[in-house]
Structure formats: C-alpha cells, structure tokens
Amino acid sequence: MDDELNGVKVVLHTVVDPNQELAEQVAGKYGFLHTATDIQTVLDDPEIDAVSMALPNRMYVDVVPKVVAAGKHIFCEKPLGLDAAEAEIIVKAAEEAGVVNAVGFSFRRIPALAALHELVADGTLGDIEWFRGYYYADYGASLEEPRSWRYIQKQSGGGAVADIGAHTLDTVRYVVGDIAEVTSAQLTTVITERPMPAGGIGHSIKASATERGPVDNDDIANLSVKTASGAVGNVTLSRIACGVPNDLGIEVHGTKGYAEFSSANMDQLVVYESGEAKPGFDGARTIVAGPDFPYFGTTAAQKSSAEGHPVEIA
C-alpha cells in the first residue's frame, strides 16, 4: 500500500516478528510487501528508510541502538525502555547516528487537544493554577486477561504508570508544561494474579485454563504533581476501569478561565472564559473541532483514507 504524507511517498515494506504466521497475518491485513522473522533482514535492506518499533518495553534498549546504527530512522511506541536510564541510552544512540528518533505520543495530534494547548500557550486561560489529568482503560479489567509482559515489572518497567501514564504525563507536559515535582504517589495492584499466557504477544491472545501467575505492578495510580510554572495537579490512572475502553482527559484551570478535553469525545473541547455574560448564561461552552483547529486537515485525510471517500473540511 502506498500513501502520500506531506509529499512523501510511504511504502509499507516489511513486517518483522518471531512468529511467522502472525507476521503474515499483519502483512496481509495492512498491505506490507514482505515478512521476516529476524530484524537483521530490515537492517540489511537499503530500501528501508524508517522502522516502526512496537516491542515489549524490555527489548528497546537492545534492539533500537542496532536499528539506528544501521542508519534507519525510528518511530518507537512508548515508554522508551524500562526506565529513564534506558531511554537516555536510546536517545544518545539516535543522536550519534544522526537519525530521527520519534516516540508515539499520538494524542498531541488530536485537533481539540492541540487547540487546548494553544489556549494555554497564548494566555487565553490566564496563568494555570491547577489541573487534572486522567487515563482510564479496561484492557486489564477482566480477571481472565492473560498475564502478558505488561503485568510483569521486570519486563514492562511499570504497570498503569508506565503504560497509559506515559500518555497522560506527556499530555500534561504538552498542555501545562514540564513536571518539576511529584509530591505524592499511590500505586495499587488490585488483581494480584492472572492466567498464564498460552500464546500471542502484547495483550495476549490466549490464556491457560489452569495455571496462574503473580502480577507485580500497578493497576491503579494516583499522582500529585507540580509543574515548573507552579501549577499543581492530580493524575489518575487505571487499566482496570470496567466499561471505559479508552479515555484520556485533561482539565486545566487558570486565572481567566478553564478548559477540558476527553478523548471519549475527541472532536469536542469545553471552554470557559471569564468576563461579562448574560445572567444565567455565564458558563462553559462546548466547541466542536473544525477547519481552524490544528491538525484538522490531517485527521480528515485519515478519515477519508479509512472510509474510502472524500471528506470536506471547509
């Protein structure tokens, strides 16, 4: 499959996975030209310019330096390793190789969230005093969800904080600013054991009917943080939120107003700006993302590609 992205022709070339059958399934689904079971196949191929790295967290520090040393640009899923030290090794390797090192913080490209970023940056909401960030997901809500690497501290580097928290903390940085201090943290493991995986990767495909293993990282986390600008906030995370498949949100309160975003309604932004208003109508308003929002054209192009017909944006 070919695609046009900002004038660059993109060819989906090779899927690599130790499981040949799985690699072939993915290649067929998304239109890749080839499959391989060894990453060296990609490193040795001069036709491949960039590699999307979707690996268990523990593998990044070993694999990524080899990829960038081969001159390949990289796009990695977060988090970039088990801890900050591993991430620094990867960043340094990419810098020394002179290649692009991108991490998949995809929420930044949602038009409504990007508009919230601009409202804070241009001072519309005044000085931000406090905020609330959250990410609720239900992928671990079932007691029968297999014990994949995500539930093992040595393989994941963390539970909810490392997985969905990476997106939430990045959103806080994007909208409010860098986090300077974590004043408190409460991490809780609610489901303490899970069925052992019988096959598959990531969110494991199959589970053993009898054998179970321990979970040693967090299902739920509550963090109190402070940004470099002095704003204080709370970050709440759960990977066991029954009935909430995937919802990242942020709410910011400033001296001139407040705004909130939820990915459950990702085309909307709730905004309140202080000032004179008609009695009874002094409140927040919901704005639907439109052509004037950042990245709106990009998301329209994605929708057009997925649905197979033109999407008008003006």
Q: Which CATH architecture has domain 2-105?
A: 3-Layer(aba) Sandwich (3.40)
Residue 42 confidence (pLDDT): 96
Residue 2 confidence (pLDDT): 46
The verdict on whether omega for the bond into residue 291 sits within 30 degrees of 0, i.e. cis, is: no
Question: What's the mean pLDDT when you consider all of the chain?
Answer: 90
Residue 13 confidence (pLDDT): 97
Q: pLDDT digits over 239-262, tens only?
A: 999 999 999 999 999 999 999 999
**Residue 313 binned pLDDT confidence (cut-offs 50, 70, 90):** low
Q: Which residue has the higher pLDDT, 142 or 295?
A: 142
Q: pLDDT digits over 15-33, tens only?
A: 999 999 999 999 999 999 9
Non-local (6+) Cβ contacts of 179 within 8 A are 169, 172, 173, 225, 226, 227, 228
Residue 209 confidence (pLDDT): 60
Residues 77 and 256: their CA atoms lie apart, in Å, by 36
Q: Please indicate whether the domains covering 2-105 and 107-288 agree at the CATH topology level.
A: no
Q: Which residue has the higher pLDDT, 299 or 274?
A: 274
In the chain, what percentage of residues exceed pLDDT 70? Answer: 86
Residues 307 and 221: their CA atoms lie apart, in Å, by 37
Residue 1 confidence (pLDDT): 41
> Which CATH number does 107-288 carry?
3.30.360.10
**Residue 278 binned pLDDT confidence (cut-offs 50, 70, 90):** low
Domain ranges for the chain: 2-105, 107-288
Residues 210 and 144: their CA atoms lie apart, in Å, by 11
Residue with tokens 């005093």, as numbered in its chain: 129
Of the candidates 232, 207, 237, the one whose C-alpha atom is nearest the C-alpha of residue 222 is 237
**Residue 55 binned pLDDT confidence (cut-offs 50, 70, 90):** very high
Q: Which residue has the higher pLDDT, 303 or 84?
A: 84
160 within 8 A of 237, measured Cβ to Cβ: yes
pLDDT exceeds 60 at position 314 = no
**Residue 309 binned pLDDT confidence (cut-offs 50, 70, 90):** low
Residue 9 confidence (pLDDT): 82
Average pLDDT over residues 152-177: 97
Non-local (6+) Cβ contacts of 94 within 8 A are 64, 68, 74, 100, 101
With residue 45 as reference, give the H or E element that holds it: none
Q: pLDDT digits over 178-219, tens only?
A: 999 999 999 999 999 999 987 655 554 566 667 999 999 999
DSSP letter, residue 79? S
Q: Which residue has the higher pLDDT, 111 or 303?
A: 111
Residue with tokens 């409140």, as numbered in its chain: 283
Q: pLDDT digits over 92-127, tens only?
A: 999 999 999 999 999 999 999 999 999 999 999 999
pLDDT exceeds 80 at position 64 = yes
